[in-house]
Amino acid sequence: MTVPPLQNELLTELSRRRFFDRMTDGLCGVALSSLLGQRAFGAETHRAKNLPENLQPRRPHFTPRATSVIHLCMQGGPSQVDLFDPKPALKKYHGQTAPRELTGNAVFETDRTGKLMQSPFEFKRHGKSGAWVSNALPHIAQEVDEMTIVRSMYNVHPNHEPAIYKMQSGQTFPGHPVLGSWVTYGLGNENQNLPAYVVLADPTNRLPVNNVDNWMSGYLSPLYQGTRMKSTGSPLLNLAPDYAHAEQVSRNKQQLLKQLDRMHQKQRPGQQELEARIQNYEMAANMQLEATETLDLAQETQETLAMYGIDQQETESFGRRCLLARRLVEKGVRFVQLYTRTQLWDNHSKIANSLQSACGQTDLPVAGLLKDLRQRGLLDSTLVLWGGEFGRLPTAQITNNAQMKLAGRDHGPYGFTAWMAGGGVKRGLVYGSTDEVGYASVENRVSIQDWHATILHLLGMDHERLVYQRNGLGERLTHQFETNVVHDIIA
């Protein structure tokens, strides 16, 4: 058998001279890769060092407009054309196939097959800003002068799981740190007796889509992942000790354990998981008193409880979590995330009823949160975010017009609405727009990475400088996607 020349060369014994010749080729390749890497990722980013693995408060890159975030995760896809983005063309063409001139930007031809469906809700202008909001959100409508309503958001995937990963971490697949983890990695925490990143999910243990991946820290230290707290009963399992000690005895015991932990850690340098475990145990000891007090709503007045709807069965659950979010940021927690029950906004059928139910459970509590933050002087420093992973299509999800009254809407990632309030954003602003029927964003389009970069900017961080070195690459929340901070919405 004839051996090919290259393979024959590899089978022969290498001379000393040939060995060093080949080695220098490899070194040249490494040098070239390094130069290309610096050009691709930016020289400053490529040289950036990872931040310390702790939750001590850190100085931002520049003066922040906000110091904390409350993220209201409306998973499922709230319908923009039924809540914040009225489209008269839907009434005009109700029950008809969308005219080609209105849907020429359709991503998939199947998006045109449904019949256009007018909203079952009525829209009116509200506030001094005159922003349009439907009667499905009567309480939030009274707060539009505090908001920047972004009508031109878009996502890159029409399915829940990838779209949620994109919204949380900037990628459509798991394994990357989420927004809350990046914020706490960059800024640390003001209160060392409470977690920096707290999650308030549905108390019935019905986790949102993607489960705990929604608040995982990915390749960052476990210190930066979200800590799920219960809104009723003990906020954490095993928070209280099994039996009481005298205060001095407990203090001495904790001090001894801390010394032993640090001796153990000193013998094992560079182990992130060990460091995170030690710090979590130390925080757990500190939380025994402060977490219980912070989440005790008995200290609130009946007027405040009613503002959040905690005195009503429909709004009690989400209202309680909104009030807890205010109490947590008041105590210095950096990032608080709230989730509705599973896919509350995934209104594939009977949208007149199912969307109304989703709004009924959340509208009053969210408006109460904004009022309460404003009254306490916290809204200027707290950035409130509201939105889902995408919106809905303007068409009815039915097979024939006889089912129109039972219709809902399918997923619509191409153009949807989210809003921000407080924390340095402009008040009473409506930004961007979708096309005539609300299918896709067309003016001042805002991608998920633009949204992330703008949030970081409001917190005093440059998304290109907030970097974590991993396998020789400078990882960041906005990855290497084309990204722009939306300066037009910043006050």
pLDDT for residue 291: 78
Indicate the burial class of 230 (C-beta count within 10 angstroms; 0-12, 13-18, 19 or more): middle
Supply the mean pLDDT for the chain: 86
What is the gyration radius of the CA atoms in the chain, in angstroms? 26
pLDDT for residue 236: 63
* pLDDT-based confidence at residue 446 (cuts at 50, 70, 90): very high
pLDDT for residue 404: 85
Sequence-distant (≥ 6) Cβ neighbours of residue 337 within 8 angstroms:
70, 71, 73, 180, 197, 198, 199, 200, 214, 215, 226
Q: For residue range 238-254, what is the model confidence (pLDDT) as tens digits?
A: 555 555 556 666 667 66
For the segment 394-414, the average pLDDT, to the nearest whole number, is 88
| Cα-based distances in Å from 140 to 222, 360, 392, 490 | 36, 11, 20, 21
Give me the half-sphere count of Cα atoms (radius 13 Å) on the Cβ side of residue 323: 28
Residue spans of alpha helices (H) in 230-271: 247-266
pLDDT for residue 234: 63
Indicate the burial class of 376 (C-beta count within 10 angstroms; 0-12, 13-18, 19 or more): exposed
pLDDT for residue 13: 42
The encoded tokens of residue 67 equal: 């110091």
Q: For residue range 132-149, what is the model confidence (pLDDT) as tens digits?
A: 999 999 999 999 999 999
For the segment 396-422, the average pLDDT, to the nearest whole number, is 91
Q: For residue range 338-386, what is the model confidence (pLDDT) as tens digits?
A: 999 889 999 999 999 999 999 999 999 999 999 999 999 999 999 999 9
Does residue 81 register a pLDDT over 80? yes
pTM, full prediction: 0.84
How much of the chain, in percent, has pLDDT values that exceed 90? 66
* pLDDT-based confidence at residue 235 (cuts at 50, 70, 90): low
Q: DSSP 3-state assignment of 385?
A: strand
Q: For residue range 291-324, what is the model confidence (pLDDT) as tens digits?
A: 778 888 999 999 999 999 999 999 999 999 999 9
pLDDT for residue 230: 83
* pLDDT-based confidence at residue 23 (cuts at 50, 70, 90): very low
pLDDT for residue 11: 37
Q: For residue range 184-223, what is the model confidence (pLDDT) as tens digits?
A: 999 999 998 899 999 999 888 678 999 999 999 999 998 9
pLDDT for residue 4: 38
Q: Distance between CA atoms of 128 and 130, rounded to whole angstroms? A: 5
Q: For residue range 154-178, what is the model confidence (pLDDT) as tens digits?
A: 999 999 999 999 999 999 999 999 9
pLDDT for residue 283: 65
Q: Which residue has the higher pLDDT, 242 or 225?
A: 225
* Under 8 Å between Cβ of 434 and 466: no
List residues bridging with 468 in a β-sheet: 475
